[in-house]
Chains A and B, each alone.
Chain A
Amino acid sequence: MSLIRYQFPELTNWSSFDRLNSLRDEMTRLFDFSWPSRDSGLFSGWSPALDVWDDKDNLVVKVELPGLKKEEINLSLHDGVLTISGERKHEVEKTEGQSFRSERYFGKFQRSVTLPTAVDASKVNAAYKDGVLTVELPKAEEAKPKQIAVGVS
């Protein structure tokens, strides 16, 4: 009689974990996104709400970014894609007291939006007020609606 512990064949060598990992890799590849990194909390980020408005002459992009300094916001416009990025840093060190509720996001954010019409990049204007970033992008001349007068012959 042998006294060797019976091992379930499917539980050997942590192979199931390997399989899980490869499955995760497959999924990552499939969806082409990266999983939240461990140090960034439950969700990898902060995705500030973004609105796009269109009046006749301008596109207006608004992003809710409470509690930043205007120097901490980066804006770039490249190939018709407006990118807003930045980082919100903790104001108070966590060690200073005991936290009872921690719902606000801190850390990096980035939002990009493909603009629906061509804009004049040299005349873009951005303002940050009451925690809302407003970017005004004047439409390029060729993208503006035009009135065509009907001539009377």
Chain B
Amino acid sequence: MNTTLNKPESQQTGAQNGTSRVNYLTPLANILETKDGYVLEAEMPGVNKDGLEITVENGELTLIGRRAPVENRGREVYRESRAFDYRRTFELDPSIDTAGITAKIDQGVLKLQLPKAEAVKPRKIAVRD
């Protein structure tokens, strides 16, 4: 079975009004499957708890990270980072118990625990005498 969380590549998402186009960065992510579920880590430097918006809809998990506002730092001398917010969508494995998803963010790394529903967890069946 190879169902897992997939990602549609979407760097840009047009705003519905058509006038402004919103650019997003795709956060780098790691996904690990464990016995009890999945662990998803996404890198969102500059984002804290208040800037996070995590939604599950139609079997899709959407992560949005908005950067905490930064006070004016003067003149830009050299720049590599991009100031856009983060957004990424993952298709959820149907075995995931969406009610049990938990999230926390620590130093710009969002970590989601996506537990598998009890019904699909590997279960050992005892053999009776």
Chain A residues in contact with chain B, CB under 8 A? 49-56, 58-60, 62, 64-69, 92, 96-105, 113, 116, 128-132
**Chain B residues bordering chain A, tally (CB within 8 A):** 36
* B4 contacts chain A at the CB level, 8 A cutoff: yes
- Nearest-CB residue, chain B, relative to A65: B45
Q: Indicate whether A67 sits within 8 Å of B43 (C-beta atoms), given known contacts A52-B77, A101-B5, A130-B48.
A: yes
User: Is A104 a contact of B41 with CB atoms below 8 Å?
Assistant: yes
- A-B residue pair count with CB separations less than 8 angstroms: 114
Complex CA distance for A87 and B7, rounded to whole angstroms? 28
Q: What is the bound-complex CA distance between A129 and B44, given in angstroms?
A: 12
Question: Is B34 in contact with A96, judged by CB distance below 8 angstroms?
Answer: yes
Interface, chain B (partner A; CB < 8 A): 4-5, 7, 28-35, 38-39, 41, 43-48, 68, 72-82, 106-109
Known: A51-B78, A103-B30. 15 other contacts (CB 8 A): A50-B78, A50-B80, A51-B79, A51-B81, A53-B75, A56-B74, A58-B74, A59-B77, A62-B73, A64-B46, A66-B108, A69-B107, A97-B34, A101-B30, A128-B107
What CA separation (Å) do A149 and B24 show in the bound complex?
Answer: 48
Residues of A within 8 A of B81 (CB): 49-51, 62, 64
* Pair B32/A131 contact, Cβ less than 8 Å: no
Q: Which one of B4, B38, B74 contacts A55 once the chains associate, using CB atoms below 8 Å?
A: B74
* Minimal beta-carbon separation of B16 from chain A (angstroms): 29
* Interface pairs (24), CB distance under 8 Å: A50-B78, A51-B76, A51-B78, A52-B78, A54-B75, A56-B74, A62-B73, A66-B43, A66-B44, A67-B43, A67-B107, A99-B33, A100-B32, A100-B38, A101-B31, A103-B28, A103-B30, A104-B28, A130-B108, A131-B44, A131-B45, A131-B47, A131-B107, A131-B109
